[in-house]
Structure 1
Amino acid sequence: MRELTYYVAVSLDGYIAGPDGQFDAFLAEGDHMAPIWARYGGTAPTRLAEAVGLPLDDSPFDTVLMGWNTYAVGLPDLPSPYEHLRQVVFTRSHEGPAGSEAVTFTDADPVETVRALKQEDGKGIWLCGGGSLAAALAGEIDRLALKINPVVLGAGVPLFGGRGYAPRQWKRADVQAFGSGVLLAEYARA
């Protein structure tokens, strides 16, 4: 069965973006980049990866899931950000823009959708954001891969937004520390 991995950059205080969706405080350069790409290749937007010469064919994922706000970060320039992956965007009130024909927009129940995807053949499923979608899918997430950045945002989009108090245990799978201050912390569902 396929696994759902929530792979995302996060601040020390648990935010995946600023209050208006900003993510420029996260480190985009440093000694963490190459090792993390070696582990999680194929997780950059297609055009960006091609422009900087990053290979896209050795990804642990063949499907990417995101909420509308995560998807909309690249608009209008990237209506199909991950052309090399099957793209699913969960939204209740938006339709796809021109050029987004390779993206599936759905208002279906995220849990039912993920359960169906897990039954299909293929590689892993990547949840790249946002926090509210992660909260809705918390019971379906098999692995957490957190790029913990050495920054405190103070406010923004929480890692699991709107979840409320609902403790869940995870077991550490691996932790890598880099000179840049970034930690790649990986956890499996306990």
Structure 2
Amino acid sequence: MNDPASSSRDKYEALVRAANKHQILLRDASSGNGIDRHILGLRMAYHRLQPLPSETPLTAAEKTAIEEFFNDPILAKSTTFQLSTSGLFPAYYLSHTGFGCVVAERGYGINYIIEPKRIKFGTEGKTFEVGKGTDVERFEMTLRRILAELKAICEESNDISAGDSSRL
């Protein structure tokens, strides 16, 4: 998308491929098959479940190996989502949606509602120190700019003139 040598058509085709992949990953995650769901399930089982009476308790070496796994820096990074998004059912208002950031430091949260002729967003950002970390205004301006660019790419690639809603 950032390559100036790429045509609008190239960018549109990349967008379509990304959207198709996103749909597959969304279905997987929605049905409990996202990798983060499995890791969360393993973590919860380890911390909350006791062995059954017929099972041997974990050894100290097994507990150490499990703790090392859950404390691995790569795992921590891969399960710390700086951006968390959620699509909401069609509605007129974004208030009282109960959605937000999942990390307390430099995290962003977006909920969105897709309507026939517009997309509504609710955004938030968190940081421990005021003035350091998130910048929700800049984030929203960037989001608007990118969506406008994507709209132009889609219109150009599908031979739709700006403002022509007859082919939507």
TM-score, normalisation: structure 2? 0.28
**1 or 2, which has the higher helix percentage?**
2
Highest CA radius of gyration, 1 or 2?
2
